[in-house]
A and B are shown apart, each in its own frame.
Chain A
Amino acid sequence: MSENHSHYVTPLPVLLGTFLALVGLTVLTVYQATQDHVDFGRFEVGLTLLIAAVKAILVAVIFMQLAHDKPMNSIILVSSILFVALFLSITLMDRAEYKPQVDDYVIQHPKTADSL
């Protein structure tokens, strides 16, 4: 190790611990989705995505070292996610709004087996 080195070096236990946590969360989410005992109904998707988000944050903060990096880099990542949210939210809101016009048309014009 170079003594005057100033970049943050992630300790090995932290790396390994993060990895184990990630594997644990993966097992958890697969179990949650495939078992039949507990059904969260419509919250299932949200729960699955929540677990994914926790995993993503672990990777970003520890593996990608955002915790010990310049704040600018975190700002970049967060703002890109904000723009994705903007894009998705308005587009999806619009689609939900005009869905009836599509549905009515689809019912009136069913596609048959041999049409495209």
Chain B
Amino acid sequence: MIGSQLFSDSMHLPTLPLAGFWFGDSATATAENVDKVFGIITWICIAFFVLVVGMMIVFIVKYRARPGHVEQPSPSHNNALEIIWSVIPILLVALIFFLGFNGFMDMRTPPADSYDIQVIASKWNFTFQYPNGASSPVLHVPPDRPVRLVQQSADVIHSLFIPAFRIKQDCVPGRYTYQWFTAHTPGEYDLFCAEYCGLDHSNMNSYVKVHESEAAFQEALAELSKPPVWGPDWGEKLWREKGCKTCHSNDGSAIVGGGPTWKDLWDKEETMADGSKVTVDHDYILESIRKPQAKIVGGYQGVNMTAYPESLVKPAEVDAIIAYIQYLSDAYDGPTKEEAEAAAAAAEEGGEATDGGGSEAAADDQPAADEASESSESTDEEPAAPEAGEEE
């Protein structure tokens, strides 16, 4: 923890007004430190710039060729001078290195008690997964609590960049990467993908929501972990968030370089690239999500869809997507939204009655049944939210 020790020392540096001119919002202590380091470097730069360009301008004015002016003798080398203007910059860059090193070690050393959020970057979405199994395309974080992002990528290199926190770290496929922050000012801050990742790189943005309080954060989390009761609704959400949208339209239009539209896809008989015929049913869609290259519809051979293993799309989510595809078919005859909501309300009532009103369970055990096992295991490690009890 040498890094944070040194880091706290550099907190005493005076605030330099320049930082405000260069940067936008800052919502973490790290950001403030970065701004200070930036300010110091900028002042050093300005000093050198004024020195160099000022001398240049003075020389241009004073020694410009004009009638009657000739060059004056002066020495063509001076070792003392050379050494002086080598040594002074060395000392200054050593200082700059040291300041940068301090801040960096702090950025790379998350506190032991930090709250882990999984980040799954894929073309062209970030999905944030919380310890209770909930996931969202927006990064929800509690205020004043260290949050560690555990990052992975499903396809190519992405980079999670939050300008207001002044942090950035690539999400590299085939490994984990980490970054952390403690946001102290509630609000919404932009979040970008900073590493070029293909077609929709510039649309791979999102935002961070720093909640007003821990309670508000827990509430949002509980809300997030409730899957929409009506499959097609949920499926549409997944279609947007998981990146299906970029290649599969829902209105029958063709997307260049993408795959078949989902409109009226259900029950359709597709001719595969190898000539065989397949009816679009549950198994086929499941296979197309898990192993997209196994069966390719004729005409889409060049399209290289990423495989989505269970870590990216859970079985329940696959069902929701299938429900959505069914809904997009003219022949849809599943339950309507009203019916589904009524059924869910009925089920919940029944559940409440048998549950006996356990207060802890209400906060965390909202997810669908197939996720329950996972979330109950993973919440063990979760520090109990202090306000959880008061909510009841």
Does A pair with B?
A: yes
Residue among A102, A105, A106, A114 facing the most chain B CB atoms (10 A cut-off): A105
Say yes or no: B291 contacts A109, CB within 8 Å.
no
Q: What residues of A have a CB within 8 angstroms of the CB of B152 in the complex? A: 105
Say yes or no: B307 contacts A101, CB within 8 Å.
no
Say yes or no: A101 contacts B175, CB within 8 Å.
yes
Q: What residues of B have a CB within 8 angstroms of the CB of A104 in the complex? A: 175-176
B 289-331 contacts with A by CB, 8 A: 291, 307, 309, 311
The digit string for A88-116, where 1 denotes a CB below 8 A from any CB of B, is 00000000001001101110110000110
Counting contact residues on chain B (CB < 8 A from A), the size range is 10 to 19
Q: What residues of A have a CB within 8 angstroms of the CB of B187 in the complex? A: none
Say yes or no: B291 contacts A102, CB within 8 Å.
no
- How many angstroms between the C-alpha atoms of A98 and B177 in the bound complex? 9
Say yes or no: B307 contacts A102, CB within 8 Å.
no
Say yes or no: A114 contacts B291, CB within 8 Å.
yes
- How many angstroms between the C-alpha atoms of A101 and B291 in the bound complex? 26
Q: What residues of B have a CB within 8 angstroms of the CB of A115 in the complex? A: 291, 307
Say yes or no: A98 contacts B175, CB within 8 Å.
yes
- How many angstroms between the C-alpha atoms of A102 and B152 in the bound complex? 10
B 160-184 contacts with A by CB, 8 A: 174-178
- How many angstroms between the C-alpha atoms of A71 and B307 in the bound complex? 58
- How many angstroms between the C-alpha atoms of A112 and B228 in the bound complex? 32
Q: What residues of B have a CB within 8 angstroms of the CB of A114 in the complex? A: 291
Say yes or no: A109 contacts B311, CB within 8 Å.
yes
- How many angstroms between the C-alpha atoms of A114 and B178 in the bound complex? 30
| Shortest Cβ distance from residue B169 to the other chain A in the assembled complex, whole angstroms | 11
- How many angstroms between the C-alpha atoms of A104 and B150 in the bound complex? 12
- How many angstroms between the C-alpha atoms of A105 and B51 in the bound complex? 51
- How many angstroms between the C-alpha atoms of A102 and B174 in the bound complex? 6
Q: What residues of B have a CB within 8 angstroms of the CB of A101 in the complex? A: 175-178
- How many angstroms between the C-alpha atoms of A105 and B307 in the bound complex? 17
- How many angstroms between the C-alpha atoms of A112 and B355 in the bound complex? 41
| Shortest Cβ distance from residue A33 to the other chain B in the assembled complex, whole angstroms | 33
Q: What residues of A have a CB within 8 angstroms of the CB of B309 in the complex? A: 109
Say yes or no: A105 contacts B176, CB within 8 Å.
yes
A 26-79 contacts with B by CB, 8 A: none
Q: What residues of A have a CB within 8 angstroms of the CB of B291 in the complex? A: 114-115
| Shortest Cβ distance from residue B366 to the other chain A in the assembled complex, whole angstroms | 25
Residue among B176, B177, B309, B311 facing the most chain A CB atoms (10 A cut-off): B176
- How many angstroms between the C-alpha atoms of A108 and B152 in the bound complex? 11
The digit string for B123-155, where 1 denotes a CB below 8 A from any CB of A, is 000000000000000000000000000001000
Q: What residues of B have a CB within 8 angstroms of the CB of A102 in the complex? A: 174-175
| Shortest Cβ distance from residue B286 to the other chain A in the assembled complex, whole angstroms | 15
- How many angstroms between the C-alpha atoms of A41 and B307 in the bound complex? 42
Q: What residues of A have a CB within 8 angstroms of the CB of B307 in the complex? A: 115
Listed in ascending order, the chain A residues whose CB lies under 8 Å from chain B are 98, 101-102, 104-106, 108-109, 114-115
| Nearest 9 Cβ contacts at the A-B interface | A102-B175, A105-B175, A101-B175, A101-B176, A105-B176, A104-B176, A105-B174, A102-B174, A105-B152
11 cross-chain CB contacts under 8 A: A98-B175, A101-B175, A101-B176, A101-B178, A102-B175, A104-B175, A105-B152, A105-B175, A108-B311, A114-B291, A115-B291
List 4 other contacts, CB 8 Å, given A98-B175, A101-B175, A105-B174.
A101-B177, A102-B174, A105-B175, A106-B174
